[in-house]
Amino acid sequence: MPTEIVLTGLGGPEVVTAREAAEPVPGPHGVVVRTEAAGVAFAEVQMLRGRYPAQPKFPFVPGYDLVGEVVAVGGAVTSVRVGQRVAAMPRTGAWADYVEVRDRDVVPVPDDVDAAEAVAVVLNGVTAWQLLHRAAKVHSGQTVLVHGVGGGVGTLLAQLGALAGVRVIGTASASRHKVLRPLGAELVDHRTEDVPARVRELAPRGVDAVFDPLGAESLDRSWELLAPGGTLVSYGSSATMHDEGPWWTPYLRVVRRLAVWELLRLLGRTGGRRARMYYVRTNPDYTKDLSELLRLVSSGRLRPLIGRRMALRDAAEALATHMSGRVTGRIVLVPDHSGAPS
C-alpha cells in the first residue's frame, strides 16, 4: 500500500508518523503524481510548533514541494500527460507516495535532472531567484549580504549571485564554512564575529541588498548596512521560532518596521534605500522562474547542495536532522518505490 507521513499534533519529531493511504483518484483538474522526491523545509519545523501561517488543523500530511511522474489526470486536464515528469509546490501534502495537485500548478522537469536536485529548486531555488532578480533587482558588479547563507535558500543565493556576477557576503557558523566555500560567497561567522563591523570592512560603502530571513529584531542592523539606493528584503522570521503568542505577531512587527521605512522613503529621507517583504507565490512568474532554474540545473551551471537523501518513512528522523543543524544543504525524502538510495 502507498505510504503518507502525518503530523499528529504539536511537538517534535515524535509526533510524525507513517500510515497507509490509497492512491488518489484525480478530480476534473487534478494530476496524480508518483513522488520521486519531496523536500524537508523550515516550514515543516514551523508547522510542528504551530508557527506556520494558515497551516491545516492536525492531523495532516506536510510537505511543501515535490518532483515526480504523472500517473493519472482528470478529465478536464489537457496541459499535462501521463508519464510526464513534473514539479509542484502544494505547501502541504507532498510527503506521500502519491500526491494529487492541480494541473495549473505543475511545471515540467527535464528527464536528465536528478529528482533531489530538482526538488531543491522548487521552493528554495525560486525564492532565491526572485529575491535576487525580482525583489531586489540586483545586477552584475553589485554586492549583497545573505544572512544564513548555509540554509536551503542561502546556498542557492550564493550560487545564483555568482552566476549573475554579484559579490555575495554570507553569514554562517564556522562549522559550515568548509562546505560553503566552493559556492563562492565571502563567509562571516555570525557566532564569533561582529557581523556589522565585518561587513563594513568588506563593503565600506555598504551593500546593495540584504536578504534577511531572521525577523524583526535583525532588520535595523540589516538596514544600516545598505548602500544608498540599496534594498533590504525580509523573507521570514526564523529567529522568533520560540516566541510565545500568536504565530502572526513576529510578522506584524516586520510589517510595522517596513512601513516606517517606506514612509520615510516617500518623504525622501532614506537616501534611496527601500525595504520590502517577500513571500513565494505560485503564479506565471513562479512557473517561468522555476523553468529557468531547472534549465540551469540540467545544463550543470547550477548544482543545488543536497545534504542528505532519506527514505520517506524516515521523515521523523529527517526532521530531527534538519532541526539539529548538523547537515548543510537540502534534506530530501525519497519514497521507497523510487529505488533511490536512502
Does residue 24 have a cis bond before it (omega within 30 degrees)? no
DSSP string, 262-278: HHHHHTT-STT-EEEE-
pLDDT of residue 250: 86
Give 308's pLDDT tier (boundaries 50, 70, 90).
very high
Same domain, 204 and 102: no
- 212 within some domain: yes
Q: Is the pLDDT of residue 341 over 70?
A: no
Mean pLDDT for the stretch of residues 164-186: 96
- 282 within some domain: no
Same domain, 202 and 230: yes
- 209 within some domain: yes
SS3 content of the chain, % helix, strand, coil (to 5): 35, 25, 40
Mean pLDDT for the stretch of residues 307-313: 96
Q: How far apart are the first and last CA of the chain?
A: 19
- 298 within some domain: no
Domain boundary among 229, 260, 277: 277
Long-range contacts of residues 48-57, Cβ cutoff 8 Å, at least 24 apart? 48/7, 48/10, 48/11, 48/12, 48/13, 48/15, 48/16, 48/319, 49/10, 49/241, 50/10, 50/247, 51/240, 51/241, 51/247, 52/247, 53/247, 53/248, 53/251, 55/92, 56/92
Domain boundary among 260, 277, 294: 277
pLDDT of residue 246: 82
- 143 within some domain: yes
**How large a percentage of the chain has pLDDT more than 70?**
97
pLDDT of residue 241: 66
Same domain, 154 and 235: yes
pLDDT of residue 147: 97
pLDDT of residue 54: 80
Mean pLDDT for the stretch of residues 1-20: 95
Give 234's pLDDT tier (boundaries 50, 70, 90).
very high
Same domain, 171 and 67: no
- 312 within some domain: yes
Number of C-alpha atoms within 13 angstroms, CB side, residue 4?
21
Q: Is the pLDDT of residue 307 over 50?
A: yes
Which range is least confidently modeled, 77-81, 116-120, 246-250, 266-270?
Answer: 246-250
Region of 50 on the Ramachandran plot (φ > 0 left; ψ -120 to 50 alpha; else beta): left
Same domain, 270 and 130: yes
Same domain, 139 and 269: yes
Same domain, 104 and 141: no
Is 217 or 125 the better-scoring residue by pLDDT? 125
pLDDT of residue 243: 72
> What residues does 7 pair with on adjacent strands?
16, 60
- 120 within some domain: no
Same domain, 179 and 234: yes
Same domain, 151 and 243: yes
Which range is least confidently modeled, 100-109, 204-213, 244-253, 276-285?
Answer: 244-253
pLDDT of residue 340: 38
What's 259's domain CATH number? 3.40.50.720
Give 338's pLDDT tier (boundaries 50, 70, 90).
very low
pLDDT in tens, 23-81: 999 999 999 999 999 999 999 999 999 888 888 999 999 999 999 999 999 999 999 99
Residue for cell digits 549583497? 144
Domain enclosing residue 39, as ranges: 3-109+305-338
Mean pLDDT for the stretch of residues 256-269: 97
Q: Over the chain, what is the mean pLDDT?
A: 94
What's 320's domain CATH number? 3.90.180.10
Mean pLDDT for the stretch of residues 259-272: 97
* Overall number of domains in the chain: 2
Same domain, 25 and 84: yes
Same domain, 260 and 165: yes
Same domain, 132 and 263: yes
Q: Is the pLDDT of residue 269 over 60?
A: yes
- 289 within some domain: no
